[in-house]
Amino acid sequence: MHAGPAQIGHHKKYGQHTDTNMKRIFSIGAALLIVMTAYSQDQTVYEHGYLVKVGDMAPDFTVREAGGESYSLSDLRGKVVMLQFTASWCSVCRKEMPFIEDEVWLPGKDKGLVVIGIDRDEPESTVLKFRDDMKISYPLALDPGAGIFALFAQKEAGVTRNVIINREGEIIFLTRLFERQEFDEMKRVIFSELEKKQ
């Protein structure tokens, strides 16, 4: 049975509606993509995947030390704070940590320095073993789901990084990986800040 002229006209009309609907769907999809892209670009990404820069106020968060107490970053105002983002599986972190212990933490802890190693998304038992294995005396804190890390850097970015925060809560130095020259510059910034009159 052949389609009559009325049926052919119906198919053409139906086809036009389908094309129009597809165009609408495509337009809505494109608009959503633009909105989502604009939303995701709300946060500027800086060098080394950082979401913060020197001069920014450090985002506040609450942390719990492995085997210890909970507190907020804002509770530490009046002290110079070093956040060391780390993980037990990170070989560069392991290389850097003895230098943090001997050259930053031990000489600075009685001068108003707080060092917190923020361990990326590992269970407390792993973090406690990591601390013991590394023979460090500064605290390691838990960061389940890497939520604290994500306040400072893109979640997929590497962990070996330090954030130095002055007594007013402002970021004054950022590092990535462990390079002796950068580490020495970080130390200079920390101890210079510690020497300032409160």
Quote the pLDDT of residue 24.
59
- E strand residue ranges, 45-112: 62-65, 70-72, 80-86
Strand partners, 115: 82
Answer yes or no: do 75 and 105 share one domain: yes
Contact 145, 64 (CB under 8 A): no
Segment 154-171, tens digit of pLDDT: 988 888 899 999 999 999
Segment 25-70, tens digit of pLDDT: 555 544 444 444 334 446 788 777 789 899 999 999 999 999 999 9
Residue 19 pLDDT > 70, yes or no?
Answer: no
Answer yes or no: do 66 and 86 share one domain: yes
Quote the pLDDT of residue 31.
46
Quote the pLDDT of residue 64.
97
Quote the pLDDT of residue 47.
77
Answer yes or no: do 26 and 72 share one domain: no
CATH number for the domain harbouring residue 56: 3.40.30.10
pTM across the whole model: 0.77
Instruction: Please give the residue range of the domain that contains residue 13.
Output: 1-42
**What is the distance between the alpha carbons of residues 113 and 80, in angstroms, rounded to a whole number?**
5
Quote the pLDDT of residue 25.
56
Q: Which residues contact 195 (CB under 8 A, 6 or more apart)?
A: none
Residue 1 pLDDT > 80, yes or no?
Answer: no
Give the side-chain half-sphere CA count within 13 A for 40. 7
Answer yes or no: do 138 and 61 share one domain: yes
Answer yes or no: do 96 and 163 share one domain: yes
Average model confidence (pLDDT) for the chain?
85
Higher pLDDT, 180 or 116: 116
Answer yes or no: do 37 and 68 share one domain: no
Quote the pLDDT of residue 28.
56
Contact 157, 150 (CB under 8 A): no
Answer yes or no: do 35 and 52 share one domain: no
Average pLDDT value for residue range 100-126: 97
Answer yes or no: do 15 and 65 share one domain: no
Count of residues making up the chain: 198
Quote the pLDDT of residue 30.
47
Q: Which of 83, 79, 80, 62 is nearest to 71 (CA)?
A: 62
Contact 149, 141 (CB under 8 A): no
Segment 127-155, tens digit of pLDDT: 999 999 999 999 999 999 999 999 999 98
Answer yes or no: do 26 and 102 share one domain: no
Answer yes or no: do 112 and 92 share one domain: yes
Answer yes or no: do 13 and 78 share one domain: no
Question: How many domains is the chain built from?
Answer: 2
Quote the pLDDT of residue 177.
87
